[in-house]
Amino acid sequence: MAGEKSENNQIEKLMDAPVEFFKDGKQFLSKCKKPTGSEYSKIIRAVGFGFIAVGVIGYAIKLIHIPIRYVIV
């Protein structure tokens, strides 16, 4: 009987863990400072610009690969 009870408790604990985690996270998020609109657009512009620039250079390199493929294989 006692064993059954502790088992039940354990299961309950296991079920509670995600709920607890979710609650903690939500509370944490409400305390957090979110980026403002101008901050956000600045970041998106900087990261986006860098990302696309590197991507375009990288793609140019991949285009060079196409003729190389024909030579090697």
Residues that bind another protein (CB under 8 A): 21, 24-25, 28-29, 31-35, 39-40, 42-44, 46-52, 54-59, 61-66, 68-69, 72-73
d(CA 26, CA 24): 5
Residue placing its CB nearer to another protein in the complex, 15 or 57: 57
* Beta carbon of residue 19, minimum distance to another protein (angstroms, whole number): 13
Q: Do the Cβ atoms of 36 and 43 come closer than 8 Å? A: no
Smallest separation, CB 21 to another protein (Å): 7
**For residues 43 and 35, is the Cβ–Cβ distance under 8 A?**
yes
